[in-house]
Structure 1
Amino acid sequence: MPGAANQDKPARRGDALLSFGLDSTQLQALHALLSELSVTAAAARLGRTQPTLSRSLRRLRRHFGDPLLERTGNSYRLTAFAERLRPLAAAAVEAVDRTFAAETTFSPETSTRSFTIASSDHGIATAGAELFRRVRSLAPGVGLRFLPVTTELLEHEDEYLRTVDGVLLPHGYLTLASSVDVHTDRWVCVVAADNQSVGEKLTRQDLERLPWIATFTGQASRPPAWRQLELLGIVPRIAAVAESFLVVPRLVRGTDAIGVVPSRVAAAEQAGIRVLEFPFEMVPLTEAFWWHPVHDHDPGHRWLRGVLSDQRV
């Protein structure tokens, strides 16, 4: 069976699926089936008939030597192999779509292109919001699609960046991509307004003894400010984890906990909190737009980068 060997060693990149002998039609079917977990829903998504998708599923099962979808009661679930295959199929479809959407020229006044940007909630609320306003003014037909930053992005940077137009993240997370700085900010601490265990100024002892609301605690995804604390010998005592800067000020309210956020986030959430400076100088937060070098000479992408660089503050 041609795909049997692939069951144990799936492709490392989404575009490698095409080398398995699947044409773009089958690739689209694979992506829809693994996303919808239903032949009927996949057919509706692609605008094809149910018998057509059933035939595609049979062919895909023969090709990979794996059932892909297994019935459980009245629904289906992915096999272990299909779980590994799903992000590869999504990346392959995205790569194919982007290939055929490529343009030799770009006119912002008439373009209907859509740009996909991965971003933290902080990035969307600041740089993303300003980018959207500028794009609406300069190119009313151009669309923006914002995706959340995921562990997959941070751990598989090169592969992930090929599937999107770029990423809005501070310096300190990505290493392989090209970038343009968008704005600068500073890290601040937030505590509840009624937190009696903290004075008007933070001390190093406060940082060491207070419980922390942590964000993005993975080795590759910890905020640069958190890494700086560890370099100074301060190991925060984590009481809760929330992978969002925007919710940290709300979580500390009514507790003795402390959190670290960009100052713009703290400024937008003044009610019920106090904003305190670190007792020592922190490395500034520099928000940037990151992209894979394959986009370097794309005229539309170059326009987008220019819009982003013009909004630097």
Structure 2
Amino acid sequence: MLEELDVSLLRALQALLNTVSVSGAAVRLGQQQPAMSRKLGVLRRLTGDQLLVRVGNQMQLTPRAEVLRPVVDRVLAELAQLSPHQGFLPAQMQRQFTIACYDFLPVERFADLVGELVLASPASSFVIQGIADKNDFVRRMCDGELDVAITSRMDIPGVLRSSRLLSDPLAAVVRPDHALAAGMDLAVYGQARHISALERARGAGAAVDVLLAAAGVRHEVAIRTQYLSLVPAMVARTGMVFTTGLRHAQRMAADHGLVCVPMPTEIGSIVSYLVWHERTHLEPAARWLREQLTLRLRSI
């Protein structure tokens, strides 16, 4: 087995074990599905195990495959340290990158960034997904479904790496006729009714609540929604207050005829982190993606 098992087969095995899907593994490695099916056949012969089996309408890992998954991740991570990664060319790469983030990132700059990524690696594809809660993106990252996540969660588990990416002070978005439109008054802010977005799961989007509570600022949330795109219309029709990062508040106000009112600086800022898994720390393609995200988003 060891004489026949090469790095290409190891990477195929890792993709199969992490996606639990022949087609998913093929997409991840930029290969055709028939080629991945052939590799699965070779791996089954070498390991003496089915690895993936169909149960009902979905594929599942065998017990042997569950044991092999962390072993393969570790072996490939250690092999990656043997290579200086010289000669890596994004323009020649064919790979799918998956990024998880919130939808309050600076819209224009993030759109520019995605355009630059596509130009730099035209044969690659990019998937941008939402984040439900911490457990969601941690599970997906540990399962190999995500390359990076951009999150305001500060309690990053030890199995992941992170670096500080963005810092954004808070601001409120209100109608032009709102009492706060002339300037922030925390007494008026505390008496107002509020809209909260990012409520995809319990505790999601809690960064604003944490900052306000730490500063002793109360606010009564009357509407909670998953759909950030509905917030401007809700603010306009209800006269309620929406609190978010300053960059997002400025864009929302400019696009929808609303008013952005910065919070006092002592309230604190929303800090976003770039998060990735240890096994991709030295992988050239994943490292290139992190470098591009860091370079362009930190410059905002």
TM-score, structure 1 as length reference = 0.62
Corresponding residue for residue 263 of structure 1: 246
Identity %: 18
Which of 194, 201, 205 aligns to 1:212? It is 194
- Secondary structure of the structure 1 residue equivalent to 2:267: coil
Per-residue deviation at 1:155? Answer: 2.4
Q: Tell me which amino acid in the other structure corresponds to 1:131.
A: L
CA distance in 1, matches of 2:166, 2:130: 20
How far 1:127 sits from its partner (Å)? Answer: 5.8
Distance (whole Å) between structure 2 residues aligned to residue 114 and residue 138 of structure 1? 14
Aligned residues: 234
Which residue of 112, 115, 132 maps to 1:150?
132
Alignment of 1:78-97 (within 5 A): none
> Is the CA contact (8 Å cut-off) linking 2:169 and 2:263 kept in structure 1?
no
CA distance in 2, matches of 1:266, 1:253: 14
Which residue does the alignment assign to 1:37? none
* 1:165 aligns to 2:147 (yes or no): yes
For the aligned residue pairs, the C-alpha RMSD in angstroms reads: 3.8
Deviations 1:210-258 (A, max 9, x none): 1110123555423422212122333421111123545433320132200
Q: 2:98 aligns with which of 116, 122, 125?
A: 116
Q: Aligned AA for 2:173? A: V
Q: Contact 2:190 / 2:220 at 8 angstroms: preserved in 1?
A: yes
Deviation at residue 60 of structure 1 after TM alignment: 5.0
Unaligned runs of 5+ in 2: 1-12, 25-36, 38-52, 61-65
Residue number among 262, 267, 279 corresponding to 1:294 in the alignment: 279
Q: Secondary structure at the match of 2:119?
A: helix
Kindly indicate whether the alpha-carbon contact (under 8 Å) linking 1:171 and 1:285 is maintained by their aligned counterparts in 2.
no
Letter in 1 for 2:113: L
Equivalent positions of 1:223-238 (< 5 A) are: 223-238=206-221
Change (3 A) 1:168 1:127: farther
- Residue type matched to 1:240 in 2? I
Distance 1:186 1:170 in 2: 13
Distance between the aligned counterparts of 1:287 and 1:126, measured in 2? Answer: 17
- C-alpha displacement at 1:126, in angstroms? 5.5
2:150 and 2:110 map into 1 onto residues whose CA distance is 8
Cα distance between partner residues in 1 of 2:97 and 2:122: 13
Q: Describe how 1:176-215 pairs up with structure 2 within 5 A.
A: 176=158, 177-195=160-178, 197-198=179-180, 200-215=182-197
What TM-score results when the alignment is normalised by the length of structure 2?
0.64
- Please give the per-residue CA displacement for 1:46-72, whole angstroms capped at 9, x wherever unaligned: x9xxxxxxxxxxx855xxxxxx57xxx
